[in-house]
Amino acid sequence: MRDSNRFVAMGKRLSSCIDIRYAAAQAPQRASAYLIADDRAIVYRMRAESWDGVADINNQVMARLYLQEFDQVWNASEVERGLRTRTARRG
């Protein structure tokens, strides 16, 4: 992963734990982008390069659908070993 990537650079600076992974080659590629919060809220953009999209703060069914998709890709991905790892305290 290139060090010039601003997201990777931010991950290196954070004091909390963040994992960055390579998506597996067989993972489905999407033109869309989404963000899920609290198993209930979702922000969805049909085309990642466009700001047009929808936000719903109370759509548990849709949020869980996309969270399942994310989990499948995440679980099939590889850990990026070139980045510094940190241990976070939990609860």
What pLDDT is recorded for position 87? 47
Mean pLDDT of 33-47: 90
Interatomic CA distance for residues 60 and 12, integer angstroms: 32
Domain segments of the chain as ranges: 1-27+79-91, 30-75
What pLDDT is recorded for position 83? 56
Confidence of residue 57 (pLDDT cuts 50, 70, 90): very high
Q: Helix or strand or coil: residue 58? A: coil
Flag the least confident range among 4-18, 26-40, 50-64.
Answer: 4-18
Mean pLDDT of 28-54: 87
- CB-based contact 47:31 (threshold 8 Å): yes
Question: Identity (one letter) of the amino acid at 4?
Answer: S
